[in-house]
Structure 1
């Protein structure tokens, strides 16, 4: 079974012009009609760091979850943000960005990797008490532009540390679009075999022409969870100046279905969401 995660939060967060709260909510409500496994809908982070997401709580209040099978995921960057997210019963998953790059960890969460690992442990404990699941993203998981140490063995070391903390979902994240199909396959094959109890995901940023081969590489290696965003909008504003967008969900669907996976998506509702994309992102 393949899980498809739609990421409007990742698509929106780097847009400098504030998107009206009602527009955000209307778009996410339409996404909730499609049948994605999970919607990465918002984040509880400092509004100074990510101004676009300052209305996440207000957006959540406007979401209609009664008829949707999709689960909600919110990104947090520290314990305070996690506590805010955990106060909302509607949220199923908390996502935390742990980096294998010291430079990016400081840029992204204003903390060292050691401090971030301690935060992961604290948030994991709080999630267990509240009956929520923590998704840990290993950002810069396929290399970094800063010259920081990187190797598949380093990734494996952090997966092991997260496993010891009881983390059950880890998403290897190609924050800058640097991953090759070969590296994707090698990383996932190694980790899936070493940690069969962990659900591994892929959060890949990619040029449009590379989506098919990257997606297939992940699937062949045993990855079961893939993030995307309609029309491939997005990119991490904390990574570097030139943003590489998310994998376009619309391009991912035919590849997955062509490989025989039943995604359970309502194509009519998907078409309605596509009508909103250009309006929401002013593109």
Structure 2
């Protein structure tokens, strides 16, 4: 399949990134950072998660954040829900967002450690939630974690992952994201996987979500692009990771992903400089250096340095 000339990028830092920080970021700072991202050209931002505040206290102010952010009208906001109770709470403020993400892990062990349920139990709940989300006039997206390998079980069969994706699509999900939750993918497998997913799920938006745990995130994104994938998730500043298990570092940085695509003449619609500014501001808020390359080097300008 020909390389896409343009791609969509969803920013997941305000949810996937902030939830993995050891300290709680103030609501004021969250709102300011999200508003900044909204002015960079991003059309999709994942903002909050409706989980129990005692489980992820870093996101306990999600309703307030949703009510206070001020992004352009054409920016679509997403929330993530873990179960029907979370969806009940989200729907109380459904006028503040546009899309709902539901999820499962492809491996039994990771799924149980993450949500304390079997895959079958999670998918039974997801089937009902997907239909409710669609009935509410919202977009339903699905995420399959550990799509490329599980730290507890090892390799996850591609057919198992695609079967779960097919079930999500049949329940009403119009977008399915495949997550490299602990950074176990490699470019060769990413190329084969996304070609198969696009072929298996015509009409469904196929999204790649890579982590940079072992330094292969951008290479995997390139491989997915070359296989025809035109939808990606990333996190400014390379924030994020996975709370299960320890050591699973952040998502690929939005600014690094955009920089790579722009150098390849792949259109993103994003202002790279503004995303870098947002990432540097997040670095200031957190009081520590973040790990994306573009924060340090900035965008390529092709100005020849004086000798």
Same fold by TM-score greater than 0.5:
yes
How far apart, in 2, do the equivalents of 1:78 and 1:211 lie?
Answer: 29
- Give the alignment partner of residue 206 of structure 1, picking from 195, 212, 231: 212
- Judged with a 3 Å threshold, the aligned counterparts in structure 2 of structure 1 residues 79 and 131 are, in CA distance, closer, same or farther, namely same
Counterpart residue number, 2:120:
114
TM, length-normalised to structure 2 = 0.87
Counterpart residue number, 1:130:
136
Q: Helix, strand or coil for the counterpart of 1:13? A: helix
Residue 268 of structure 1: CA displacement?
Answer: 4.8
Q: Does 1:13 align with 2:34?
A: no
Q: Does 1:272 align with 2:277?
A: yes
The runs of at least 4 consecutive aligned structure 1 residues that moved more than 4 Å come to none
Counterpart residue number, 1:189:
195
How far apart, in 2, do the equivalents of 1:13 and 1:233 lie?
Answer: 9
Residue 164 of structure 1: CA displacement?
Answer: 2.2
- Give the alignment partner of residue 260 of structure 1, picking from 253, 256, 265: 265
CA deviations 1:19-62 (Å, max 9, x no partner) are: 11111111111111111121111111011211101110011111
Residue 262 of structure 1: CA displacement?
Answer: 1.8
Conservation of the 8 A alpha-carbon contact between 2:212 and 2:252: yes
Moved more, 257-266 or 117-126: 257-266
Conservation of the 8 A alpha-carbon contact between 1:32 and 1:68: no
How far apart, in 2, do the equivalents of 1:102 and 1:258 lie?
Answer: 40
Q: Helix, strand or coil for the counterpart of 2:96? A: coil
Residue 248 of structure 1: CA displacement?
Answer: 0.9
- Report which of the two structures shows the higher radius of gyration computed on alpha carbons: 2
- Give the alignment partner of residue 23 of structure 1, picking from 9, 25, 29: 29
Q: Helix, strand or coil for the counterpart of 2:16? A: helix
Moved more, 5-14 or 259-268: 259-268
How far apart, in 1, do the equivalents of 2:276 and 2:218 lie?
Answer: 21
CA deviations 1:101-146 (Å, max 9, x no partner) are: 1111122222211111111111111111111111111100001011
- Judged with a 3 Å threshold, the aligned counterparts in structure 2 of structure 1 residues 129 and 35 are, in CA distance, closer, same or farther, namely same
How far apart, in 2, do the equivalents of 1:16 and 1:211 lie?
Answer: 23
Correspondence list, 1:154-173, <5 A = 154-173=160-179
TM, length-normalised to structure 1 = 0.94
- Give the alignment partner of residue 2 of structure 1, picking from 7, 14, 17: 7
Q: Helix, strand or coil for the counterpart of 2:162? A: helix
Conservation of the 8 A alpha-carbon contact between 1:211 and 1:251: no
- Give the alignment partner of residue 236 of structure 1, picking from 239, 242, 250: 242
Q: How well do the aligned residues superpose, as a CA RMSD in angstroms?
A: 1.7
- Give the alignment partner of residue 77 of structure 1, picking from 79, 82, 85: 82
Counterpart residue number, 2:304:
none
Counterpart residue number, 1:40:
46
Moved more, 255-264 or 69-78: 255-264
How far apart, in 2, do the equivalents of 1:281 and 1:196 lie?
Answer: 42
Conservation of the 8 A alpha-carbon contact between 1:4 and 1:227: yes
How far apart, in 2, do the equivalents of 1:100 and 1:155 lie?
Answer: 6
Residue 209 of structure 1: CA displacement?
Answer: 4.4
Give unmatched runs, 5+ long, in structure 2: 1-5, 289-307
Q: Helix, strand or coil for the counterpart of 1:200? A: strand
How far apart, in 2, do the equivalents of 1:218 and 1:62 lie?
Answer: 36
Conservation of the 8 A alpha-carbon contact between 2:17 and 2:239: yes
Residue 274 of structure 1: CA displacement?
Answer: 3.1
Residue 272 of structure 1: CA displacement?
Answer: 3.4
- Judged with a 3 Å threshold, the aligned counterparts in structure 2 of structure 1 residues 271 and 180 are, in CA distance, closer, same or farther, namely closer
How far apart, in 2, do the equivalents of 1:76 and 1:281 lie?
Answer: 26
State the aligned residue count. Answer: 281
